[in-house]
């Protein structure tokens, strides 16, 4: 096993300022658990496959040896304790002290218990019934524990008697547990005039590869993240880039449409993921109206994952559906500044065909200091700009594609005397 080396898959604060006091960060790569925590699923079994049909083969991989699974690893903090609220029968075969983690990002939440000892053993509630006494303990794979990581699995899960079986791998390092599907399906499909590698991942671990955005989540809240993944090697470089600049993100939550250049494709998937249908389509369209603001939005939704810019009238045309904005890039043609919606209406946008959806974001931007007390004598100060829609921007702007100097900080007393000063640094 190799340690993680693919920096594109490691969460970064690129474009954000590290606080003046740099806090120790997690040593292991992970998709933020908070971004994956919402529950609820909508398993959309495709009624029939349409368009060109591609056969996808299942590949079993070690998470750190596969670029796609490495990007999808999720990290969880292990909690000490003799019991867990989701467990009514504790594991009998593990030595104390026990540690637990609840995997709430799965279609059905389940618990993993970790036993003490030099080489940890784990018990997974494979049927999510809260009973760990019936489960068989798993020992880390031989010869696969290196760099302080213990690797377990593949372990089969079945979230309900009707559900298909999903397989996971679990990695443990100290107080951190990492989880990934044990494999995924992939093949080559014809898209946008080229044959491109595509992959399907059962990310919510319900055994089906066709789980899309849950359109029935509570209005006004961020939609469910429990959904599967469609990855497309858009730039045909053989890698999966979750945040490519010049192409759509290559790793997207699964949706019913896929946009390649200016063409929409309808995506249909057999629930077992073995067949993928892709057909050109003309979807019903709606409009987002940003008024005077010029911006590029990254959107996730039941219709599609999209990266779209306003036209000269501040309008964005897109398929009707329910979306969540994940990134905003404001621009005036020369300057750009990027931010993320923190909460509020940008997380839940309902686009219909009858009238444009007016969305308020961008200027005026209000400067805000993000102050945290690290110790009694140490304070961490970060800088943020807050937009009209509650979105948070890095104060670092780019001009004609070049990043400008980081801003400075001055701490002033009530009498106007400078007490301290410093320069923010890019992280």
User: Would you tell me which residues interact with Ca ion (CB under 5 A)?
Assistant: 125, 127, 129, 131, 202, 204, 206, 208, 211, 228, 233, 235, 237, 239, 241
Q: Nearer Cβ to Ca ion, position 62 or 125? A: 125
272/263 Cα distance (integer angstroms): 27
Task: Tell me how far apart the alpha carbons of residues 68 and 145 are, in angstroms, rounded to a whole number.
Answer: 21
Between 307 and 325, CB nearer to Ca ion: 307
> What is the nearest approach in angstroms of Ca ion to the Cβ of residue 12?
18
DSSP-assigned states of every residue in 213-271: --TTSPTTSPPP----EEEE-TT-SSS--TT-SSSS-SEEE--SEEEETTEEEEEEE-T
Closest CA relative to residue 270, chosen from 113, 82, 48: 48
Q: Which is nearer to Ca ion, 17 or 184 (CB)?
A: 184
Q: Which is nearer to Ca ion, 211 or 384 (CB)?
A: 211
Q: How far is the CB of 210 from Ca ion (least distance, A)?
A: 7
CB closer to Ca ion out of 125 and 348: 125
- From the CB of 53, what's the least distance to Ca ion, in Å? 20
Question: In whole angstroms, how large is the CA radius of gyration of the chain?
Answer: 23
Structure tokens at 324: 């969540």
Beta strands in 312-376 (DSSP E): 315-319, 321-331, 335-341, 349-351, 357-358, 366-375
13 C-beta neighbours (distance < 10 Å), count: 13
Smaller CB separation from Ca ion, 132 or 325: 132
Which C-beta is closer to Ca ion: that of 210 or that of 320? 210
Please state, in angstroms and rounded to a whole number, the distance separating the CA atoms of residues 152 and 132: 17
C-beta of 16: minimal distance to Ca ion in Å?
24
Q: Which two tokens stand for residue 15?
A: 């474009």
Distance CA 36, CA 413 (A): 42
CA nearest to 323, candidates 348, 353, 295: 348
Question: Measured from the CB atom, is 173 or 239 closer to Ca ion?
Answer: 239
Bond into 97 cis (ω within 30): yes
Whether the CB-CB separation of 13 and 32 falls below 8 Å is answered with no
Question: Cβ(304)–Cβ(257) under 8 Å?
Answer: yes
Q: Which residues contact 130 (CB under 8 A, 6 or more apart)?
A: 86, 87, 88, 89, 111
Q: Is 287 left (phi over 0), alpha (psi -120 to 50) or beta?
A: beta
Q: How far is the CB of 305 from Ca ion (least distance, A)?
A: 15
Place of tokens 């292990």: 78
Cβ atoms < 10 Å from Cβ of 358:
11
* Nearest distance, CB of residue 51 and Ca ion, angstroms: 22
Select from 306, 196, 207, 273 the least CA-distant residue to 240: 196
| Least gap, CB of 222 to Ca ion (angstroms) | 19
Q: Which is nearer to Ca ion, 145 or 211 (CB)?
A: 211
Quick one: 199 or 359, whose CB is closer to Ca ion?
199
Nearest-approach distance from CB 190 to Ca ion, in angstroms: 17
Residue 107 CB, nearest distance to Ca ion (Å)?
6
What is the smallest separation between the CB atom of 239 and Ca ion, expressed in angstroms?
5
């Amino acid at each position: 096993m190799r340690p993680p080396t693919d920096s594109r898959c490691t969460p970064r604060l690129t474009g954000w300022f590290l606080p003046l006091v740099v806090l120790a960060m997690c040593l292991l790569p992970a998709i933020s658990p908070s971004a994956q925590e919402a529950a609820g699923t909508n398993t959309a079994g495709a009624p029939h496959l349409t368009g060109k049909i591609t056969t996808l083969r299942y590949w079993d991989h070690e998470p750190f040896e596969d670029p796609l699974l490495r990007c999808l690893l999720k990290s969880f903090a292990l909690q000490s304790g003799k019991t867990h609220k989701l467990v009514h029968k504790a594991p009998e075969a593990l030595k104390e002290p026990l540690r637990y983690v609840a995997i709430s990002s799965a279609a059905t939440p389940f618990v993993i218990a970790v036993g003490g000892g030099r080489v940890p053993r784990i018990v997974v509630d494979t049927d999510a019934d809260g009973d760990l006494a019936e489960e068989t303990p798993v020992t880390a794979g031989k010869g696969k524990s290196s760099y302080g990581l213990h690797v377990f699995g593949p372990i089969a899960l079945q979230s309900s008697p009707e559900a298909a079986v999903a397989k996971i791998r679990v990695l443990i390092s100290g107080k951190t547990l990492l989880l990934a599907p044990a494999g995924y399906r992939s093949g080559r499909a014809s898209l946008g005039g080229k044959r491109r590698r595509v992959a399907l991942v059962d990310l919510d671990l319900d055994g089906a590869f066709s789980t899309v955005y849950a359109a029935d989540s509570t209005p006004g809240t961020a939609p469910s993240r429990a959904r599967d993944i469609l990855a497309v090697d858009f730039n045909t470089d053989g890698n999966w880039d979750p945040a490519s600049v010049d192409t759509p993100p290559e790793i997207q939550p699964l949706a019913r449409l896929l946009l390649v250049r200016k063409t929409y494709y309808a995506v249909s998937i057999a629930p077992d993921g073995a067949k993928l249908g892709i057909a050109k389509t003309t979807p019903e369209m709606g409009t987002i109206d940003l008024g005077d603001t010029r911006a590029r939005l990254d959107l996730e939704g039941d219709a599609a994952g999209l990266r779209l810019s306003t036209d000269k009238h501040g309008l964005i045309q897109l398929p009707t559906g329910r979306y969540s904005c994940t990134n905003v890039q404001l621009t005036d043609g020369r300057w750009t500044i990027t931010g993320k919606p923190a909460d509020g209406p940008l997380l839940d946008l309902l686009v219909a065909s009858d009238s444009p959806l007016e969305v308020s974001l961008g200027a005026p931007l209000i400067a805000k200091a993000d102050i945290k007390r690290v110790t009694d004598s140490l304070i961490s100060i970060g800088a943020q700009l807050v937009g009209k829609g509650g979105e948070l921007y890095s104060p670092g702007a780019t001009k004609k594609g070049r990043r400008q100097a980081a801003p400075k900080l001055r701490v002033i007393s009530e009498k106007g005397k400078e007490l301290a000063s410093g320069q923010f640094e890019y992280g």
